[in-house]
Chains A and B, each alone.
Chain A
Amino acid sequence: KNQVEQSPQSLIILEGKNCTLQCNYTVSPFSNLRWYKQDTGRGPVSLTIMTFSENTKSNGRYTATLDADTKQSSLHITASQLSDSASYICVVSDLYGNNRLAFGKGNQVVVIP
């Protein structure tokens, strides 16, 4: 079973609307959680990172939240733009040597005009 589950797998939203992506993980002991944005045909780019002591982090119109007790994170996109069309990948790091990474399969977001 994948240690990081993301939902919804894909969604279509109208330009200007908001959306929220979910990430549930079972990685333990937890070190940190990153959200990456992957444009089609490009490599993932880090958006936010949070440790267990941080429960919210913003990067422009992107706001990530973390509940380390329930092992859940969300990424909220505000006032979506066409350029937000991408896959958003949740990556969780553990505290073992080399901070091993567990990747979610991504949330595929399509923003339409």
Chain B
Amino acid sequence: DSGVTQTPKHLITATGQRVTLRCSPRSGDLSVYWYQQSLDQGLQFLIQYYNGEERAKGNILERFSAQQFPDLHSELNLSSLELGDSALYFCASSVGVGVSYNSPLHFGNGTRLTVT
């Protein structure tokens, strides 16, 4: 068990809708990362938060947004959903502001989003 908790495990919704994915990082970890993994695609970095502040941005669409709360949990909001947004969304956490030899990423088990 990585200690990273993601909810819900599965989510089925219709096109045009909005959903919120939730992540609780490992105890003591200050950074939270969000990744998207589509079928046959590698993990695509979306966004990172460190101690409540946005730290780095990847290939995140404007329809997507995230935030990290004072208790360090994070939420990823996906709006105006399209069929192509169907994917596994992973949250990961690390101790420090970045990833290093002694500060690896710890991944949750993901939220599987299906847009119909």
Contact = CB atoms under 8 A, between A and B. Distances in A.
Interface residues of B, number: 25
Interface of B: 2, 4, 40-45, 48, 55-56, 90, 92, 97-101, 104-105, 107-110, 112
Interface of A: 2, 31-32, 34, 41-46, 49, 51, 89, 93, 97-101, 103-106
Given A45-B2, A98-B56, A106-B42, A93 B99 contact: yes
Contacts of A51: 101
A64 B106 CA distance: 20
A99 B100 CA distance: 7
Contacts of B108: 43
B94 to A, nearest CB: 10
A43 B99 contact: no
